[in-house]
Amino acid sequence: MKISQTRFETLKINSIMKKNITSPYAIRIITILLLVVFATACKQKQKKNSQKELEVTWAEKLGYPSGAKVIMLHADDAGMCVEANIATMQYLESNHIQSAAVMAPCPDAEEFIQWAIDHPGSDVGMHLTLTSEWKEYRWGSIVPPEEVPGLIDPEGMFWHGVPEVVMNASAEEVEKEIRAQIDMAISMGYQPDHIDTHMGTLYGHPAYLEAFIKVAEEYRIPANIIDLSDSLVADRFIKEGYPIDDNVIELIDKYTLPKLDNFSSAPKGKTYEEKIENFKALVKSLPPGLTEIIFHPSVQSEQLKSITNSWQQRVWEAEMFSDPILIEFFEEEGIVFTNWKEIMQRFEKIDE
């Protein structure tokens, strides 16, 4: 059996200590050995860190500059209401954000999909939706409810939260519904640029994730799949309650389309100014690589206030990314921006 140098020196120290030798010579030997152990451990740690630094991020695989923070500012919940549509359209038209996704089952989804058809340069995907979280403003499935009963609550709508979906819906029902949501856009003449998951539901059960990946690969539409080979990233999502284990990591490892290095959301703030500062802190904390940051912009209205208690955060999120303060901050930090269209163009060149 091979013994590492650190382990070998530790055994020598233990041997001397067991003999209870306290002569100056023995103490000197122990001191030297301890220094050797410490130096060896540091060297091994440096080697491990160096290996970590040598790992290629997805940003680098796709040809972005080495060591760059490549960010996608992504608006969720388009189609949920008129207020979300207005804010998201304005952002995309002004190029202050890079991407957005529409919730097919919601009341104003068709309006936003038609807008995407009329603006082919914009990056718009499907925010695959299996929950209906608000108290009164709600929606149900695209598929006839009797075909996906596990997704439907006693009120005939989607369940309010992810746990209820996991407890009631089969992976087959989930796959059927998410296919229908993608097909809705395609039937209108729009090919989604990407797919992602409302409230993280498709990460709520390994079988749902498997269906998500299967559909993405079959349609060849990139999904917001996060590379979990970095244990720090995986641990963060585990702490947030997602059922991530070795099987899930292996499933993602086999995914054949581009992945994100990291994923986050715009932090809250008690004031607009605090929200800006919290967002700056988030960006500064990000490691190099490809990161998607989601948020939920909506213009202020009485209807928005009646839908959600988070209306103020959403209104601020409809303002902050066009704020010169944040725009200047991005320039100072050397942030590289991208979207799913560009990601797939780069990926297909690699894949040729």
Helix (H, G, I), strand (E, B) or coil at 254: coil
Domain ranges of the chain: 5-53, 55-351
The fold of the 55-351 domain, in CATH, is TIM Barrel (3.20.20)
Please tell me the distance from the alpha carbon of residue 107 to that of residue 334, in angstroms, as a whole number.
39
pTM: 0.84
pLDDT at 51 > cutoff 80: no
Residue 152 in contact with residue 170, Cβ under 8 Å? no
Give, as one character, the DSSP assignment of residue 152.
B
Compute the average pLDDT of residues 69-97: 98
Distance CA 149, CA 169 (A): 8
Number of neighbours of residue 78 by Cβ within 10 angstroms = 32
Q: 301 versus 54: which is more confidently predicted?
A: 301
**pLDDT at 28 (0 to 100):** 53
User: 181: closest CA among 133, 127, 258, 250?
Assistant: 127
Which tokens belong to 290? 């490809």
The pLDDT tens digits for 153-182 are: 999 999 999 999 999 999 999 999 999 999
Collapse the DSSP code of 166 into the 3-class scheme (helix H, G, I; strand E, B; otherwise coil) and give the result.
helix
- What tokens does 277 get? 């500062």
Please tell me which residue, 49 or 194, carries the higher pLDDT value.
194
The C-alpha angle with vertex 156 and arms to 152 and 157, in degrees rounded to 5, equals 65
Residue 350 has a pLDDT of 85
- Mean pLDDT is lowest, of 54-63, 89-98, 198-207, for 54-63
Of 16-25, 60-69, 126-135, 153-162, least confident by mean pLDDT is 16-25
34 pLDDT more than 90: no
More confident position, 270 or 34: 270
Per-residue model confidence as pLDDT tens digits over 239-288: 999 999 999 999 999 999 999 999 999 999 999 999 999 999 999 999 99
Q: Residue 304 is encoded by which pair of tokens?
A: 């928005």
Q: Are 92 and 115 in contact (CB under 8 A)?
A: no
Asked if residues 341 and 193 have their Cβ atoms less than 8 Å apart, the reply is: yes
158, amino acid identity = F
Is pLDDT of 129 > 80? yes
- Name the H helices within the chain: 5-18, 24-54, 58-61, 82-94, 109-118, 162-168, 171-187, 206-219, 231-239, 246-253, 272-285, 302-307, 311-317, 324-333, 340-351
10 pLDDT above the threshold of 50: no
Residues 6+ apart with CB under 8 A from 303: 81, 82, 83
Q: Any idea which residue has 């902050």 for tokens?
A: 320
Mean local confidence (pLDDT), 205-212: 98
pLDDT level of residue 55 (50, 70, 90 thresholds) = confident
Banded pLDDT at 123 (limits 50, 70, 90): very high
CB atoms within 10 A of CB 328: 10
Please state the φ and ψ torsions of residue 203, each to the nearest 5 degrees.
-100, 0
Q: State residue 352's pLDDT score.
A: 67
Mean pLDDT of 114-126: 98
- Rounded to whole angstroms, the Cα distance separating 352 from 350 reads 6
Say if residue 6's pLDDT is above 50.
no
Looking at residue 23, its pLDDT comes to: 52
- pLDDT band at residue 215 under the 50/70/90 scheme: very high
Average of pLDDT values for 2-23? 44
Buried b (16+ CB within 10 A) or exposed e, 287-322: ebbbbbbbbbbbbbeeebeebbeebbbbbbbbbbbe
Count of alpha carbons within 13 angstroms of residue 213, beta-carbon side: 22
pLDDT tens-digit map of 288-311: 999 999 999 999 999 999 999 999
